Amino acid sequence: MSHVPVMLSEVVRLLAPRSGGVYLDGTFGGGGYATAFLEAAPCTVWAIDRDPEAIARGASLAARFPGRLHLINGRFGDMLDLLAERGITTLDGVVLDLGVSSFQLDDPARGFSFRSDGPLDMRMGSGGPTAADLVNTLPERELADLLFELGEERASRRIAREIVTARGQAPIASTARLASIIRGVMPPDRSGIDRATRSFQALRIRVNDELGEIERALDNASRLLSPGGRLIVVSFHSLEDRIVKRFMADAAGRAPSPSRHDPRGLTTRAAPRFRLLTARPLRPGTAETTANPRARSARLRALERAVGERAP
């Protein structure tokens, strides 16, 4: 199955690519967003993906837009350095479409899916510990905390206990075995959501340091944007969205109330350097969620660097 870009028309409308503009697609994936930007205006797109397979797939698109699409295999949390090495220090827009792509999810060999059997890997890129390394080595307590904090899994303690018992018999090496251990802990609920969903999400976030990546990316992006430049982020669960929401609110000057030593905030509150474009997150319409269930949990937030402001 190919990857269907989520909230594509909203993203293109907010980015508003213009002739000569330079944009970063920090999550190239199947190239759905990048293609739309390149088609919308004679602009240049830099595209990052930590997955070498996504970058390799992008070669034909780069050939279709000679000199206008530049592909980089790396992490979006390193965008400032990755672009500086290539002589790029300012951008007219940055877009992040968080999470995994259908290419990754649907390939059992990548180990993301509890629906099919494969090695328990879950790395979007190469290098670093796999999900199997975590479930086979973390102390029970740490495993439980991880499932609770990154998966919001209420049965985290029981699942961690079962994992530790099971790995004592033989290392847990496959997605199917891990999923069956988790399912054995709780009865199915009426929601129809697979019982392994939250634990798999937690492991994936930790294996790829997804929340740390988002924090670094938002900071990097805010330094790269030129006046009028826009940052657009599509997130898929509350942990991601919370980080994006806070960052954007702070950047736009909606910081917590000023200090009691300076109640009017005269010294602490500089004029906002950014403007929120989405007071509330945009959500996909029903037509999109019906056609593409992956879009159901999407939330889009956008920020603009104020005109007349320079990057810090």
Ligand X SMILES: C[S@@+](CC[C@H](N)C(=O)[O-])C[C@H]1O[C@@H](n2cnc3c(N)ncnc32)[C@H](O)[C@@H]1O
What is the binding site for ligand X (CB under 6 A)? 3, 5, 27, 29-33, 48-51, 54, 75-77, 97, 99-101, 124, 213
The Cα–Cα gap between 34 and 48 comes to: 10
Q: Residue 116 has which token pair?
A: 């099919």
- Judge contact between 144 and 135, C-beta under 8 A: no
Give whichever of 175 and 220 is closer to ligand X, judged by the CB atom.
Answer: 220
Using an 8 Å Cβ cutoff, are 171 and 186 in contact?
no
Of the pair 195, 204, the CB lying nearest ligand X is at 204
Question: Taking the complex as a whole, how short is the minimal distance between the CB of residue 290 and ligand X, in angstroms?
Answer: 19
When the beta carbons of 100 and 135 are compared against ligand X, the nearer one is 100
Residue with tokens 């999550």: 27
DSSP 253: T
What is the closest distance, in whole angstroms, from the C-beta atom of residue 228 to ligand X in the complex?
23
Question: Taking the complex as a whole, how short is the minimal distance between the CB of residue 33 and ligand X, in angstroms?
Answer: 4
Closer CB to ligand X, residue 27 or residue 156?
A: 27
In eight-state DSSP terms, residue 34 is H
Shortest Cβ 14–ligand X spacing (Å): 14
230 close to 93: Cβ distance less than 8 angstroms: yes
CA 275: distance to chain centroid? 22
Judged by beta carbon, residue 10 or residue 97, the one nearer ligand X is 97
Shortest approach of ligand X to residue 93 CB, angstroms? Answer: 14
